[in-house]
Amino acid sequence: MRIPTMTDVLRARTLIDPILPRTPMWPYPALTASTGVDVLVKHENTQPVGAFKVRGGLTLLGQMPTVERECGVVGYSTGNHAQSLAYASSRFGAPCTIVMPTNPNSAKANAVRALGAELVEFGTTLEDARECAEKLARERGARLVSAANEPELITGVGTLYLEVFEQAPDLDAVIVPVGGGSGAAAACVVADAVAPDCEIVAVQSAASPAAHDSWRAGEVVHRPNQTVVEGLATGTGFELTQHIMRERLADFVLVDDDAIAEAQWLLLRDAHTLAEGAGASALAALLANAERFTGKRVAVICTGANASERELRTMSGMP
């Protein structure tokens, strides 16, 4: 498999720049006070689909040959990867089919349909959805898009980290939420090229530690996948992203789902920012390891805003 380079990231940026404005990154005095760390929040929650993944989808679709694009793409996802592919497909006029496990987060399912993609509900796990997507892609001659073993998704997401280091060239650490690992792999590729002294720290939920355990073991492993935090939910590590993270990641930490919910609330209160669980997990990792980051300048990536209606009601104290 081809390892993405900084040159690929720069090429992705020329493709994305005319489509997506760069997202802001801000310090919040209240958040600095409650964490004791010089923390900056990178706002991928402001993307048109509410998550950073749109950068990868646009890069993948934008670089597909026209004939291939006309045959369409098939993806499987519990949410944001689906919205990213649906958005990019509609942007580039490609047919898009998304397979989700049955009874998906209705906000995410509706968003996918509203973007013009066909939504297929199948099975109970993401693994079931993947098998169904593989079959559909074969039948339709469409391009199957994996959740993480895709170089274009990594290079597209690399544009996020290029922005981070342009906005704050003096960072000591960047904390990145991990599911399949495309985001953390992208951070590694870019930091290696433009911020060699900056540590990249990954975070996953302790209830779904497959990527974390794969990184520690030095090989892809499977683990129970029990987190309620959608973007971080995976039962396996992925070869490509693990390979990149192995070389460059400074550390990989785990946080409990409860700590993620607490960080979601802090972002809402102190940074006026609505994050889904995954989008708050980098802040949760910072809070759980505060002494390690004291006196340092740290960026936390707020990767997404697509909280379910249940999460929204819980956060606001509504029944």
Ligand X SMILES: *Cc1c(COP(=O)(O)O)cnc(C)c1O
Residue nearest ligand X, CB atom distance: 304
* Cβ closest to ligand X, residue 29 vs residue 56: 56
Cβ–Cβ under 8 Å, residues 208 and 224: yes
CB-CB neighbours of 195 under 10 Å: 21
Task: Give the footprint of ligand X on residues 26-45 (CB under 6 A).
Answer: none
155 binds ligand X (CB under 6 A): no
Nearer to ligand X, 72 or 304 (CB): 304
98 and 89 Cβ atoms separated by less than 8 Å: no
If one asks whether residue 53 binds ligand X (CB under 6 A), the answer comes out as yes
Q: Is 259 in the site for ligand X (CB under 6 A)?
A: no
Q: What angle do CA 55, 175, 130 make, to 5 degrees?
A: 50
The single residue among 160, 240, 278, 283 that binds ligand X, judged by CB under 6 A, is: 278
What is the chain's Cα-based Rg? Answer: 18
Q: Find the binder of ligand X among 242, 279, 293, 300 (CB under 6 A).
A: 279
Q: Is 209 a binder of ligand X (CB under 6 A)? A: no
**Residues 169-198 close enough to bind ligand X by CB under 6 A:** 177-184
Under the criterion CB under 6 A, does residue 276 sit at the interface with ligand X? yes
User: 226 phi and psi, to 5 degrees?
Assistant: -120, 5
Of residues 35, 47, 80, 236, which one binds ligand X by CB under 6 A?
Answer: 80
Q: Single out the residue of 42, 92, 63 nearest to residue 152, CA to CA.
A: 63
Q: Is residue 96 a contact residue for ligand X (CB under 6 A)? A: no
Strand, helix or coil for residue 143:
strand
* CB count in 10 Å sphere of residue 29: 9
Map the footprint of ligand X across residues 285-304, applying CB under 6 A.
Answer: 303-304
Integer Cα distance of 94 and 23 in angstroms: 26
Nearer of residues 199 and 230 to ligand X, judged by Cβ = 230
Q: How far is the CB of 124 from ligand X (least distance, A)?
A: 20
3-state helix, strand, coil in the chain (%, to 5): 50, 15, 35
Binding site residues, ligand X, CB under 6 A:
51, 53, 80, 148, 177-184, 231, 276, 278-279, 303-304
